[in-house]
Amino acid sequence: MTTLISGQAVARALSRVSQALIEQKETLTSLDQAMGDGDMGITLTKIGNALLPYCADTAPDDLGKFLIGAGMTANRAGPSTMGTLLATALMRAGKVIKGKSELTPQDLADMFAAVDTGIQERGKAKPGDKTIVDAVHPANEAFAQAIAAGVTLAEAGAKALQAAKNGLDNVTPLRSKMGRASWVGERTKGKVDPGCAAFVVMLSAIIEPPSASYSQTI
Amino acid sequence: MTTLISGQAVARALSRVSQALIEQKETLTSLDQAMGDGDMGITLTKIGNALLPYCADTAPDDLGKFLIGAGMTANRAGPSTMGTLLATALMRAGKVIKGKSELTPQDLADMFAAVDTGIQERGKAKPGDKTIVDAVHPANEAFAQAIAAGVTLAEAGAKALQAAKNGLDNVTPLRSKMGRASWVGERTKGKVDPGCAAFVVMLSAIIEPPSASYSQTI
Amino acid sequence: MKKILNNPENFVTEMLDGLLKAHPDQLTYTEDIHCIVRTDSPIEGKVALATGGGSGHLPVFLGYVGKGMLDGCAVGDVFASPGAEQMLWVTQRIHGGAGVVYIYGNYGGDVMNFDMATEMAEFEDIEVRTVLVKDDVASAPPEEAERRRGVVGMVFAFKIAGAKADRGGSLDEVVAVTEKALANIRTMGVALSPCTVPMAGKPTFSIGEDEMEIGMGIHGEPGMKREKLQSADEISERMTTAILDDLQPQEGDRLAVMVNGLGATPPEELYIIYRKVHELLAKRGLSVYRAYVGEYATSMEMAGASLTFFRLDDEMIELLDYPARTPFFTQI
Amino acid sequence: MKKILNNPENFVTEMLDGLLKAHPDQLTYTEDIHCIVRTDSPIEGKVALATGGGSGHLPVFLGYVGKGMLDGCAVGDVFASPGAEQMLWVTQRIHGGAGVVYIYGNYGGDVMNFDMATEMAEFEDIEVRTVLVKDDVASAPPEEAERRRGVVGMVFAFKIAGAKADRGGSLDEVVAVTEKALANIRTMGVALSPCTVPMAGKPTFSIGEDEMEIGMGIHGEPGMKREKLQSADEISERMTTAILDDLQPQEGDRLAVMVNGLGATPPEELYIIYRKVHELLAKRGLSVYRAYVGEYATSMEMAGASLTFFRLDDEMIELLDYPARTPFFTQI
Ligand SMILES: Nc1ncnc2c1ncn2[C@@H]1O[C@H](COP(=O)(O)OP(=O)(O)O)[C@@H](O)[C@H]1O
Ligand SMILES: Nc1ncnc2c1ncn2[C@@H]1O[C@H](COP(=O)(O)OP(=O)(O)O)[C@@H](O)[C@H]1O
Ligand SMILES: [Mg+2]
Ligand SMILES: [Mg+2]
Ligand SMILES: [Mg+2]
Ligand SMILES: [Mg+2]
């Protein structure tokens, strides 16, 4: 039997992401101050604060529309680099599930792939440039592989999160090549990319409580 | 026999005053920062630095001209309130001894009186306003009395200095009523007036080495 | 606060050298680089206007030398009066035969030196008149208004006097209109941080992270009171009330309003202040004819702001609107 | 650094409210207060110019909206890009039928959002062209010039584009002349102290009492290098050399020079820098056609300065001299 993820579960996941971004404000701000302009925690908190009421007030009937609307809300609330990429991710994820009211694990994998592609198209960063792409891209690949291998959603989520964390660690020693951090040059070496960190925060929030329990609550 | 003060002694006294102002820069600056704009040490150092070469290069033949020239030099170098009053004092003192090349104790008393009047005319402060007048005026009166009583120059100088110090102490508890300090209002109570302090510095430098030895060196 | 300096002793001279190199079409000097005059001075038949004061307040003082405003300025060292001789040089150079008006702030050193300069100029048959600026309501109560210091309100005085002189006003007329303007100008300010005189090398006063000075002086001298730092709206209301209580305008009066930054306070914060001031004035039935928001008189890198109201009538409006062009102030 | 604030969340909205109240004759907004446009927009038949970017840089960005410069500006939060929707609103309102040019700094968030806005505007048959400002030589070596960020040099781009558009230039012509201007504009800066984003409440970076950041960003992001604080002459020489090495002017070339204060650095210090720069240029046989010394793009209360050179030819001179009037920039 295929696990099915309800619209409510998606809305709850987005609320958890919002909550997590708000909670991690200080950490993300500090990371962005070290090699950027220090606004990331602020921007993402604004987005979190805009998405929470959005999730509460919007019926997740058509999950495509729901996520595209969430993307537009995010762009209005916090159009910084990270905010715009998050908005793009939500809109791209929404596009691939247009009209659906519940999702299969394969839908999740398609959405993840669309997010990966969307972020790379909008931002034009490549893997190794030390951006959010270095967490998103390996996580997407790990997730796709796990789903293809037929493991549980909980396991697939855990694999994706591990891949994201590894991706973050892999690029920490490197020099940032995109965005504001690229101007800081050599001094970014050894520092955690704030975008990668933000993605780990968001992905952790999605799969927490562990996705195994998803099927129970739907 | 009447003690006579040579032109050289006057020039040396003015050099000592200059030197003392330079040495007391920090103290005077701190006092002026507490209830003014903190420039007094700087201004008086500039004047000191201008008067030292003036004293070295100018023959004190006509002591009137010598002191008027010193006043103009002082005004050019540091035209703040204190600098302008010092310049006025030098010019007024010069006026009363025009043409003289050596001075009697009575000349000194006349000069002191001219300085007192000049400062009050230029600045329009009255005794009790908590300005330099509160050190100058009692010092002038004490000096005049002492000279009239026929004591030695050393004693007269010491009396004047004591009167200046008492004057300073007497106005310390009061509120400043003139100049920048007047705007600081109540907060000036209990603080030493920088102008009084500067006058004590200058007067100490004039009578140091004690004026008794003047007659030996002339 | 860190500064971009060479030898602090040369601070003013180097600043003036840079300024003359940057604005050679507008400014030059006479006798000494510390005596700045318009390149086209003297202007025959025009009443000439001079000011003077310590450095460290740009655009005050010399920044307002130019067409439609001042003719010359004697420049002192940082926060120190210029000397009487400098003032005389400026006076001689700008005098166009119609007399000279000195317009400057009520500070002891400046008054004494301008008085000495006046005596010297009159000796040379140059008619000199003085208008003292005493706009700071925080520096003394109304009954001692004569004792008040002059702060940024002087910029309005320069503007009005400059327009009147440029339009051919006589010496008496220029003096009268400037005095009338000043009778209708009041300022009040707060400081959040001190400033550093380059040669002193340390701040003029120290102040806690949550404190502010009420009614600071533009030389970094402490104000009348130290208080807990308030919100922008509270500060705005406080300054507005203090000025209105003193100026006592009538409902329907038109004002020019100036929100002035002391140096380190960003324009964004000045507009946040202006917003509240505008609102409070509207509530009292007072309208803003013109708003000036920016840095018009600074104290180097001091953080803080001041507020100035100038009550206008038709004559003042005509002169305020008159065009002007100086290195720091252009109005068309 | 202490700030005059109400609730930091309302910083930008209150600032804009104050600004609109202070300049009602010049500025208004469309749809949302964060979308500032000229009161007289759209101007039929004129190429419209828009910019956008984060707040905290006044006069950049919106301070250059006005006659002879820009038509509109999308205003972001402090140091944050505005959103694509805002840009679209500005675009719709200012479009006078002759196309719209976006001129803004090369920052990721802004580029992504302006790109999204372009897609939306083209959907509505508004022709949009983009000119990215990348003038900061410190942000990438010459071979990676495409990666450079845009700083205060954009003010010259606004001036040139604005003059060309006001004189009836076509969309192609305005884009071409702006790109030509930018090919001749370079900036380099140093920061001495950080700034505080109101909502963050603490400084962006910390820096020792005797240190400076070389090539800081205007958002308070750290620069390429941290070094011992140098003298004004050394800093001036350093910036001059870095720009000239990159711009490679010929002897006899005419330049416009801008010495820009980042916020807390007093004008006096900027003129001390200008003095040395002028001297160094003269030594190389380069002349200064026009000097701009003041605050043209700030980072709130950051201390520091930047230097911009703009190599001129007759066409550029004509456009640079063209009059302009905005709330922060008046040239006659
Ligand atoms: N072109 C890009 N593509 C993808 N990610 C990027 C790009 N540029 C920057 N990033 C990511 O964005 C993060 C910074 O986000 P944010 O603070 O919102 O940027 P900014 O303040 O410059 O708008 C970086 O840590 C990096 O992961
Ligand atoms: N009108 C005045 N007459 C006499 N002395 C004055 C007057 N005003 C101020 N002073 C004296 O000047 C001192 C301050 O001198 P200074 O620092 O040079 O003033 P400023 O910085 O205001 O020019 C005060 O401590 C006071 O003794
Ligand atoms: Mg950032
Ligand atoms: Mg003083
Ligand atoms: Mg002084
Ligand atoms: Mg940002």
B79 close contact with C: CB closer than 8 A: yes
pLDDT digits (tens, 9 = 90+) for C122-134: 889 999 999 999 9
Among the bound ligands, the one closest to the CA of D80: 6
Question: Packing angle between helix A40-57 and helix A7-23, nearest 10 degrees?
Answer: 150
Give the pLDDT mean for A159-177.
97
pLDDT above 50 for D24: yes
- Residue C107 CA: nearest ligand 2 atom is 22
Q: Searching chain C, which residue's CA lies closest to the CA of residue D235?
A: C4
The answer to whether the CB atoms of D15 and C193 lie below 8 A apart is no
Q: Got the DSSP string for A160-181?
A: HHHHHHHHHHHHTTSPP-SHHH
Place of tokens 């104290």: C299
Q: Do chains C and A touch (3 or more CB pairs under 8 A)?
A: no
B126 close contact with C: CB closer than 8 A: no
Residues of D with Cβ-Cβ distance to C331 under 8 angstroms: 330
C8 close contact with B: CB closer than 8 A: no
The answer to whether the CB atoms of C22 and D291 lie below 8 A apart is yes
Model pLDDT, residue C195: 86
pLDDT digits (tens, 9 = 90+) for D67-101: 999 999 999 998 889 999 999 999 999 999 999 99
Model pLDDT, residue B214: 38
Model pLDDT, residue C1: 66
Task: Out of B13-22, C138-147, D220-229, pick the least confident.
Answer: D220-229
Give the pLDDT mean for C100-121.
94
Model pLDDT, residue C224: 74
pLDDT digits (tens, 9 = 90+) for C220-261: 666 778 899 999 999 999 999 999 999 999 999 999 999 999
**CB proximity under 8 Å: C 176-215 to D:** 192-193, 209, 212
Place of tokens 């104000």: C223
A126 close contact with D: CB closer than 8 A: no
A75 close contact with D: CB closer than 8 A: yes
Q: Going by CA atoms, what residue is nearest to atom 6 of ligand 1?
A: A131
Q: What's the Cα-to-Cα distance from C297 to each of A9, C152, C172, C312, C315, rounded to whole Å?
A: 60, 5, 27, 21, 25
Report the alpha-carbon distance of residue C150 to residue C146 in Å, rounded: 10
Q: Percentage of residues in chain A with pLDDT exceeding 70?
A: 95
Q: Which of C23, C34, C95, C219 is catalytic?
A: C219
Q: How far is the CA of B178 from the centre of ligand 4 (A)?
A: 12
The continuous run of DSSP H or E covering B6 comes out as strand B5-6
- Is C57 an annotated catalytic residue? yes
Q: Which residues line ligand 2 (CB under 6 A)?
A: B 32, 36-37, 39-40, 43, 80-82, 85, 119, 123-125, 131-133, 178-181, 193-196; C 108-109
The continuous run of DSSP H or E covering C53 comes out as strand C48-55
> What is the CATH topology of the domain spanning B5-217?
1.25.40
* Cβ of A85 below 6 Å from ligand 1: yes
Question: Ion ligand 6 — residues with CB under 5 Å?
Answer: A 37, 39, 80; D 79-80
Q: Got the DSSP string for D96-146?
A: -SS-EEEEEE--HHHHHHHHHHHHHHHHTT--EEEEEE--BGGGS-GGGGG
Model pLDDT, residue D218: 73
Backbone angles phi, psi at A8, to 5 degrees: -60, -40
Q: Going by CA atoms, what residue is nearest to atom 15 of ligand 2?
A: B82
Model pLDDT, residue B215: 37
- The residue type found at A200 is V
- This complex has an ipTM of 0.84
Q: What's the Cα-to-Cα distance from D16 to each of B93, C144, C208, C274, D62, rounded to whole Å?
A: 62, 39, 30, 10, 10
Six-digit token string for D247: 């711009």
Residues of D with Cβ-Cβ distance to C265 under 8 angstroms: 3-4, 301
pLDDT digits (tens, 9 = 90+) for C317-327: 999 999 999 99
The answer to whether the CB atoms of D268 and C233 lie below 8 A apart is no
pLDDT digits (tens, 9 = 90+) for B59-93: 999 999 999 999 999 999 999 899 999 999 999 99
Residues of C with Cβ-Cβ distance to D58 under 8 angstroms: 266-268
The domain limits of chain B are 5-217
Q: How far is the CA of C213 from the centre of ligand 4 (A)?
A: 18
Model pLDDT, residue B209: 62
- Is C219 an annotated catalytic residue? yes
Q: How confident is the model at residue A217 (pLDDT cuts 50, 70, 90)?
A: very low
Mean of all residue pLDDT scores within chain C? 95
Give the pLDDT mean for D217-246.
89
pLDDT above 60 for A1: no
Model pLDDT, residue C257: 98
Q: Do chains D and B touch (3 or more CB pairs under 8 A)?
A: no
Model pLDDT, residue C322: 98
- Residue B82 CA: nearest ligand 2 atom is 18
The more confident residue out of D204 and B24 is B24
Q: How far is the CA of D233 from the centre of ligand 5 (A)?
A: 27
Query: Nearest by CB to C15, which of D12, D19, D268?
Result: D268
pLDDT tens series, chain B, 218 aa: 578 999 999 999 999 999 999 999 999 999 998 888 788 998 999 999 999 999 999 999 999 999 999 999 999 999 989 999 999 999 999 999 999 999 999 999 999 999 999 999 999 999 999 999 999 999 999 999 999 999 999 999 999 999 999 999 999 999 999 988 888 888 899 999 999 999 999 999 999 764 444 333 33
pLDDT digits (tens, 9 = 90+) for C251-306: 999 999 999 999 999 999 999 999 999 999 999 999 999 999 999 999 998 999 99
Q: Which of D23, D34, D95, D219 is catalytic?
A: D219
Residue A150 makes CB contacts below 8 A (sequence gap 6+) with none
The answer to whether the CB atoms of B42 and C197 lie below 8 A apart is yes
- b/e map of C228-242 (b: 16 or more CB within 10 Å)? ebeebbebbbbbbeb
**Which domains are assigned to chain C?**
11-183 (3.40.50.10440), 185-320 (3.30.1180.20)
pLDDT above 70 for D1: no
Model pLDDT, residue B216: 36
Q: Is the dihedral of CA C214, C219, C222, C223 positive or negative?
A: negative
Sort A146 into a burial class: Cβ within 10 Å, 0-12 / 13-18 / 19+: buried
pLDDT digits (tens, 9 = 90+) for C181-226: 999 999 999 999 888 888 777 777 788 888 999 887 777 666 778 8
Alpha-helical segments (H) within B172-211: 179-184, 194-206
C215 close contact with B: CB closer than 8 A: yes
Model pLDDT, residue D230: 95
C18 close contact with D: CB closer than 8 A: yes
pLDDT above 80 for D315: yes
